Chain A
Amino acid sequence: EIVLTQSPGTLSLSPGERATLSCRASQSLSSSSLAWYQKKPGQAPRLLIYGASSRATGIPDRFSGSGSGTDFTLTISRLEPEDLAVYYCQQYVGSPPITFGGGTKVEIK
Chain B
Amino acid sequence: QVQLVESGGGVVQPGRSLRLSCAASGFTFSDYGMHWVRQAPGKGLEWVALIWHDGSSQYYADSVKGRFSISRDNSKNTQYLQMNSLRAEDTAVYYCTRDIRSKYFDLWGRGTLVTVSS
Contacts and interface: CB of A to CB of B under 8 A. Distances in A.
A97 B104 contact: no
A33 B59 contact: no
Nearest to B109: A44
Contact of A45 (B45, B62, B100): B45
Contact of A35 (B37, B47, B104): B104
Interface string A69-109: 00000000000000000101010101111111111000000
A8 to B, nearest CB: 15
B95 A98 contact: no
Main secondary structure of the interface of B (DSSP, over half): strand
Q: How large is the interface on B (under 10, 10 to 19, 20 to 34, 35 or more residues)?
A: 20 to 34
A99 B39 CA distance: 13
A37 interface: yes
Interface in B48-104: 50, 59-62, 95, 97, 100, 102-104
Given A96-B50, A97-B61, A47 B44 contact: no
B40 to A, nearest CB: 12
A63 interface: no
Given A44-B95, A44-B111, A97-B62, A37 B45 contact: yes
A92 B108 contact: no
